[in-house]
A and B are shown apart, each in its own frame.
Chain A
Amino acid sequence: MSLDLLIRKCKKNDTNAQSEIYKLFSSKLFAVCLKYSRNHVDAEDNLQDAFVTIFEKMSQYGYKGSFEGWLKRIAVNTVLQKYRRKGVFNIVNEDDIEDIVVEVEDYDIDINFLLQSIQELPYRYRLVFNLYALDEYSHKEIAKMLDITTGTTKSNLARARMILKDKIENYYAKLNSQSL
């Protein structure tokens, strides 16, 4: 069955089509949720909410742009909505830090470790890093999404990078000490 047909059936709340759509896209969207959430359990909750929204709003999908992109946007929005509901977390020490370039070595690094490192970031750092570094939103867009200033998004991003850099360096250090 073509994707278009599935989408059309989904718009009529066809249960089989919904199940097919889920099968096709759940692992991709779950990856998104895992990156944006702090742990596996939250990620599953977010995925669940995202799909419920997707099927509820299916009729609004206008075939503009890729379907997958639309799905991902809903997944990200689901996470952001929860963030907004929780209110803005005042992260201590929000002095503006200028955009810095952080470089790390690239050995054969474990993907699960990278994921875990993102998940362990403070809430807003994680969102900002995901949105900017992985999903290529601009600071301006992110600031609007999170209802903060671009100064804050920039400083959050810089801090997120620093934390991640530390984690990666520790990871390598551990790896080296083990191999010695």
Chain B
Amino acid sequence: MSDKKNIDRLFKEKLKDFEATPSNSVWENISIQLQSIEKGKKGIPMWWLVAGVAAALLLLFTISQVVLNNNTNPLQEIIVDEGTIKNSENTDLQDAINKKNTLSDSGGKNVSENLKSESSNFPSISSTTNTGSISAQNDNLTKHDNENRNVTVSNNTQNVNRNTYKINKNELVKSSSEKSKNDLTDNTNSNLYKDKVENNNIDKAIIDELLKTVNNTSETKETYKIASTNTNVDENITESEESNTITENYKLSLTEEIAANEDENIEDIPKEEFDRWSIASNIGPVYFNSFGNGSSIHPQFNNNSKTGDINMSYGISGSYAINKKLRVRAGINKVNLGYSTNNVIVYDNIGGSDSPGLLRNIKLNEAGENLSFISIDEFNFLQVPGILNNFIESSIDQKLGFIEIPLELEYRISNKKMGISVIGGFSALFLTDNEIYSFFNGVSTLLGEATNINNTSFSANFGLGFDFKMSDKFILNLEPIFKYQINTFNNTSGNFNPYFIGIYFGLSFKF
């Protein structure tokens, strides 16, 4: 049973027929990598990333604009493109077309759905590619009704800004872009419209009718990208060259995709199965502070140093994978935040009701009603009224608790054993705890509550996610996320821009 054997031979013989099954996640990762390589060949991911980041920024910007300044309606900022749009009717018109287009999309095949989902993932596409114009020719319009069968689109590549889309009976308008012409002029193809309407003298009714006829052309599947909410058309004008490039790339890649779809009929390929749902619990330290000099309590503390507290946040979340790269997730977290305003003198101000030390944003309780607070900076040159029985250099500590409902998108940029994602989104914050403490008479005493904190506020979130697969089902997460609070405080002074940073640890389960 035992004889001496050459060690090489021993290993070779024993391991000759050795086989082992890798975990399922390996194939999952391979197919994701292959997908992105495929797409990489078509030149999409590079600008997807750029567009994704731009979209996130735009989203944040829009939210903050809407929330911070209700008077400014970004929709009103639609800028006329070099005079091609001359009457205010256009806004309505574009809205109408948009709605129509959305409706006409719904019947589309896989192709148009793909296109749509891409554009909905990255809203900036519609806003940055919105540089052309649709010219609906008035005289043609009045003549044509449901008989219209041809929707022709011409792309003037030399001046994409002023693409004209002509809708007339049977005439194909020549296009300098062979590729797009071939695809777009064919009724069975999916057409991509990405432009504005040039409309000087067509009334809305005619356009509506026209759109009906377009929709009635049943074989035609269109994805219109006419953004009515384009807040940065004027930027586009200055950057028109750049956006033209983007438009061109996008168009090319789309036409390639359309062509590919036609060739291989992607619908027939069954989708790779993977776990779309996951639930996760998370816990982590959060650090609260604010940008800029300012105070949520009183202007006299604007220049006082502030110390952010480190508290805990914990919660659960659920997510759904739209595809292998993109997840949308929502959850509920309890989050405690706090910060201290330092260098404050606290003193007993018996009977002095109109003292300068009263704080306008704080409602004091019994323990605190006789106290006054003053910044140490002001103390030097201010006559303190009343009897200064007892004063202490202290701090005002504000403690806040929120229930946070985050809604975020997670985009995976690496799919190895260790995955990396970019996370962006926003949270709604509901106030649950609101307390002001100060260190007084030797102990930290609850003095009251702040009166200038909104019960509901928001934050814009941006962060990174790192995950490590423990098994096919369980994943460990580490997510440093920055959350910029948008309207948590009213009536602040100086530049009080609060934010918090959380380092969330979590365990998620996919199913």
Contacts and interface: CB of A to CB of B under 8 A. Distances in A.
B417 interface: yes
Given A18-B34, A48-B30, A107-B1, A102 B6 contact: yes
Interface stretch (A22-30, A82-90, A138-146, A147-155): A22-30
Contacts of B37: 52, 56
B18 A104 contact: no
B143 interface: no
Interface stretch (B20-28, B388-396, B497-505): B20-28
B12 A134 contact: yes
A133 B8 contact: yes
Contacts of B21: 26-27, 30
Contacts of A16: 269-270
A103 B33 contact: no
Contacts of A15: 31, 34, 269, 272
A41 B468 CA distance: 11
Interface in A79-110: 101-107, 109
Size bin of chain B's contact surface: 20 to 34
Contacts of A55: 30, 34
B28 to A, nearest CB: 9
Interface in B3-27: 3-8, 10-12, 14-15, 18-23, 25-27
B356 to A, nearest CB: 65
B417 A41 contact: yes
A30 to B, nearest CB: 4
A126 to B, nearest CB: 12
A68 interface: no
Contacts of B175: none
Contacts of B88: none
A105 B20 contact: no
Given A51-B30, A134-B12, A105 B3 contact: yes
A6 B21 CA distance: 21
B2 interface: yes
A147 B4 CA distance: 34
B15 A35 contact: yes
B119 interface: no
Q: Residue among B11, B29, B34 with the most chain A CB within 10 A? A: B11
Contacts of A18: 31, 34
B206 to A, nearest CB: 47
Given A44-B26, A48-B26, A107-B1, A114 B272 contact: no
A104 B4 contact: yes
Contact of B7 (A13, A41, A48, A104): A104
Nearest to A136: B12
Q: Residue among A118, A133, A168 with the most chain B CB within 10 A? A: A133
Interface residues of A, number: 43
B4 A26 contact: no
Contacts of B417: 41, 44-45
A19 B27 contact: yes
Nearest to A162: B7
Contacts of B20: 27, 30-31, 34
A115 B15 contact: yes
A103 B18 contact: no
A12 to B, nearest CB: 8
A111 B18 contact: yes
Given A13-B38, A18-B31, A48-B29, A114 B15 contact: yes
A8 interface: no
A28 B332 CA distance: 45
Interface string B174-210: 0000000000000000000000000000000000000
Contacts of B15: 31, 35, 111, 114-115, 134
A71 B169 CA distance: 58
A159 interface: no
Given A15-B31, A51-B30, A55-B34, A28 B19 contact: yes
A114 B270 CA distance: 41
A165 B37 CA distance: 45
A164 B19 contact: no
A161 interface: yes
A117 B152 CA distance: 70
Contacts of B22: 26-27, 30, 43-44, 47
Contacts of B25: 44
Nearest to A35: B15
Interface in A117-137: 118, 129, 132-134
B6 A26 contact: no
B100 to A, nearest CB: 36
A51 to B, nearest CB: 5
Contacts of B12: 133-134
Contacts of A115: 15, 18
A130 to B, nearest CB: 9
A52 B36 CA distance: 11
Contacts of B269: 15-16
A16 B7 CA distance: 42
Contact of A27 (B11, B19, B34): B19
Nearest to B35: A15
Contacts of A44: 22-23, 25-26, 417
Nearest to A18: B34
Contacts of B7: 102-104, 133, 161, 164-165, 168
Interface of A: 13, 15-16, 18-19, 22, 26-28, 30-31, 34-35, 41, 43-45, 47-48, 51-52, 55-56, 101-107, 109, 111, 114-115, 118, 129, 132-134, 161, 164-165, 168
Closest 9 CB pairs of A and B: A133-B8, A103-B4, A27-B19, A106-B5, A30-B22, A102-B7, A105-B2, A31-B18, A51-B30
Given A26-B21, A31-B15, 6 more contacts: A22-B27, A35-B15, A51-B30, A52-B30, A52-B33, A52-B34
22 contacts: A19-B31, A19-B272, A27-B21, A34-B20, A35-B15, A44-B26, A45-B417, A47-B26, A48-B26, A52-B37, A101-B6, A103-B6, A103-B7, A104-B5, A105-B3, A106-B5, A107-B2, A109-B14, A115-B15, A115-B18, A129-B11, A132-B8
